[in-house]
């Protein structure tokens, strides 16, 4: 979204809420996103569209390599998506169950998305950040790597399910491959797989194995770059360009646009929520260009 677009969308949102007196369910924003909308334009872009904020630091001939606006929702759409993640009496967000094998997974006929990545990449932290408007949901974030040894299922209202998967790599459970591979191959309601890559470290050999798995099963998947608050802008840009090159040249099923996030600054979290709402079929219109 161009910065002028940001201004336009904010204006449009405010006009809508003002015009309606009390905001309707569709256009109401969560309290925290209403605060985001009051931020100065530069800060707002950095928080909501981190990839676009970085664009200005790229030399012109590297810009075409990055896919910045394939998924380019308005602030109004992002505000609508926030409502799906806000716990209310009618929109219950809760931990459902854990499973070590697919046959133990809950059988709700709902669209599902899962989060995979190596141990310590930030899967549980990301899910916790996605659920910041449902603070009573307990998502365990470990200090020691390899903590999540089961698939953990979370229900988001009546709309979709999120799954925190066990990590691969360091101290991964022995039956990780069986568990994750079977899930990815056979879970019928799986709509999108989010493959988390540490933006400080870049793509590791283990990440490549996960990519191969997604490619082999022809899964639609998305690369989320975690911990973007930890690097200098220069290092982050270098990593992003390298990862983008990998996605452009070595993958078929990966969504071309990268999703950088930080669970410390919340950068990129709102955009990711909007993407999840989209891919689980909960928006009427498509927001892909």
Ligand X SMILES: Nc1nc2c(ncn2[C@@H]2O[C@H](COP(=O)(O)OP(=O)(O)O)[C@@H](O)[C@H]2O)c(=O)[nH]1
Residues forming contacts to Mg ion in the complex (CB under 5 A) are 123-124, 148
227 lies in the site for ligand X, by CB under 6 A: yes
239 lies in the site for ligand X, by CB under 6 A: no
167 lies in the site for ligand X, by CB under 6 A: yes
Contact (CB, 8 A) for 93 and 85 = yes
Count interface residues toward ligand X (CB under 6 A): 21
What residues contact residue 89 under an 8 Å CB cut-off, 6+ apart? none
| Cα–Cα distance, 131 to 86 (Å, whole number) | 8
Among 229, 237, 283, 287, binds ligand X (CB under 6 A): 229
120, interface contact from ligand X, Mg ion, none, CB < 5-8 Å by kind: ligand X
What residues contact residue 118 under an 8 Å CB cut-off, 6+ apart? 167, 168, 169, 170, 196, 198, 204, 206, 207, 210
| Cα–Cα distance, 9 to 206 (Å, whole number) | 41
12, interface contact from ligand X, Mg ion, none, CB < 5-8 Å by kind: none
Q: What does the longest C-alpha to C-alpha distance in the chain come to?
A: 58
119, interface contact from Mg ion, ligand X, none, CB < 5-8 Å by kind: ligand X
121, interface contact from Mg ion, ligand X, none, CB < 5-8 Å by kind: ligand X
| Cα–Cα distance, 33 to 13 (Å, whole number) | 12
273, interface contact from Mg ion, ligand X, none, CB < 5-8 Å by kind: none
142 lies in the site for ligand X, by CB under 6 A: yes
230 lies in the site for ligand X, by CB under 6 A: yes
270 lies in the site for ligand X, by CB under 6 A: no
| Cα–Cα distance, 247 to 176 (Å, whole number) | 25
C-alpha distances in angstroms, 251 versus 46, 52, 67, 69, 78? 28, 23, 14, 19, 28
The least distance separating Mg ion from the CB of residue 246, rounded to whole angstroms, comes to 24
Q: Which residues contact ligand X by CB under 6 A?
A: 117, 119-125, 141-143, 145, 148, 167, 226-227, 229-230, 262-264
């Amino acid at each position: 979204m161009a910065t002028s677009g940001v201004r336009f969308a904010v204006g449009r949102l405010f006009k809508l809420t003002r015009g309606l007196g009390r905001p309707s369910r569709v256009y109401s924003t969560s309290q925290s996103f209403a605060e985001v909308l009051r931020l100065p334009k530069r800060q707002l872009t950095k928080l909501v569209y981190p990839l676009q904020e970085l664009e200005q630091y790229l030399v012109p001939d590297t810009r075409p390599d990055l896919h910045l606006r394939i998924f380019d929702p308005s602030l109004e759409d992002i505000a609508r998506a926030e409502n799906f993640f806000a716990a209310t009496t009618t929109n219950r967000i809760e931990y459902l169950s854990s499973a070590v094998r697919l046959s133990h997974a809950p059988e709700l006929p709902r669209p599902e998305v899962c989060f995979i990545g190596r141990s310590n990449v930030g899967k549980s932290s990301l899910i916790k950040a996605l659920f910041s408007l449902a603070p009573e949901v307990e998502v365990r974030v470990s200090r020691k790597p390899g903590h999540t040894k089961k698939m953990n299922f979370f229900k988001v209202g009546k709309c979709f399910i999120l799954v925190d998967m066990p990590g691969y790599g360091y101290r991964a459970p022995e039956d990780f491959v069986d568990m994750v591979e079977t899930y990815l191959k056979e879970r019928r309601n799986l709509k999108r797989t989010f493959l988390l890559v540490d933006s400080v470290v870049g793509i590791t050999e283990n990440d490549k194995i996960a990519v191969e798995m997604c490619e082999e099963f022809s899964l639609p998947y998305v690369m989320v770059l975690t911990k973007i608050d930890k690097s200098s802008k220069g290092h982050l840009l270098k990593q992003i360009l390298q990862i983008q090159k990998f996605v452009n040249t070595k993958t078929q099923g990966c969504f071309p646009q990268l999703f950088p996030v930080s669970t410390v600054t919340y950068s990129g979290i709102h955009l990711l929520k909007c993407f999840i709402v989209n891919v689980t079929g909960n928006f009427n219109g498509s927001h892909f260009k």
